[in-house]
Amino acid sequence: MRFLPTTATAPFCPSEVKGSITIDAGASRWLKLKRFFGPGLLVAIGYMDPGNWATDIQAGSQFGYALLWVVAFSSIAAIFLQMLAARLGLVAGKDLAQASYDRYGPFGRAVQWVTAEVSIIACDIAEVLGCALAFKLLLGVPLAWGIVLTALDTVIVLGLQGKGFRQIEAIVLGLIATMAFCFVAQVAITPPDWHAVARGLVPGDPGHDRKDAIVLALGIVGATIMP
């Protein structure tokens, strides 16, 4: 059995990702909480991908706030599943992939591997096209060059791994802070109807195009709940 050190022995090594974080016994509660912000940010960015944007925007433009309860319940379910995954890591010392590898036989592993690869490809297509569309809408960059720029910034982020994992967390923090600022500014510029928001949090009949509502609801659940 191969053991990993609990502290990083290089600018970027497996121990920095999988190892324990040392916390002083006399540290304040906020300092202890700060130590866990990085992994939380990396998980949070997964819920702000183009798939979420596309399904949520389409649901809002077509049904208003009628499907808002789907977003709320999906978010609660995602939090619950993330808690289960975190407890699995704390108790067994394994992530979901490692636990699935130990639990299933060769056929089950192969099926899960193919499913994971297809899911990653589909997710990457949405990410690349979403970023390319953003370049086109904001800067007028053609889609082809937008795809090239998207691939380039991916290589840059991967190159930063050699500088340490905390730099990547800092980049993700900057992106989340930018999106949070945009959300607050949007709410301030175009305030929502809070009474309609409250009604949308209660499950109900969308009133028309029920087939489209079911498809969008499934899309919201699929884009929100992920392992």
Q: Would you state the pLDDT for residue 20?
A: 55
Taking only the tens place, the pLDDT of each residue in 21-57 is: 666 667 777 777 777 776 777 777 777 776 677 788 8
Q: Would you state the pLDDT for residue 19?
A: 52
Give 12 or 173, the one with higher predicted confidence: 173
Q: Would you state the pLDDT for residue 82?
A: 84
Q: What is the 3-state secondary structure (H, E, C) of the chain?
A: CCCCCCCCCCCCCHHHHHCCCCCCCCCCHHHHHHCCHHHHHHHHHHHCCHHHHHHHHHHHHHHCCCCHHHHHHHHHHHHHHHHHHHHHHHHHCCCHHHHHHHHCCHHHHHHHHHHHHHHHHHHHHHHHHHHHHHHHHHHCCCHHHHHHHHHHHHHHHHHHHHHCHHHHHHHHHHHHHHHHHHHHHHHHHCCCCHHHHHHHCCCCCCCCCHHHHHHHHHHHHHHHCCC
Taking only the tens place, the pLDDT of each residue in 59-85 is: 888 888 888 999 899 889 988 988 888
Domain boundaries, the chain: 42-224
Taking only the tens place, the pLDDT of each residue in 107-151 is: 989 999 999 888 888 777 877 887 888 888 888 889 888 888 888
Question: How many residues are listed for the chain in this entry?
Answer: 227
Taking only the tens place, the pLDDT of each residue in 157-174 is: 777 766 666 777 777 788
Its pTM stands at: 0.70
Q: Are 69 and 202 in contact (CB under 8 A)?
A: yes
Q: What are the structure tokens assigned to 139, written together?
A: 């800067």
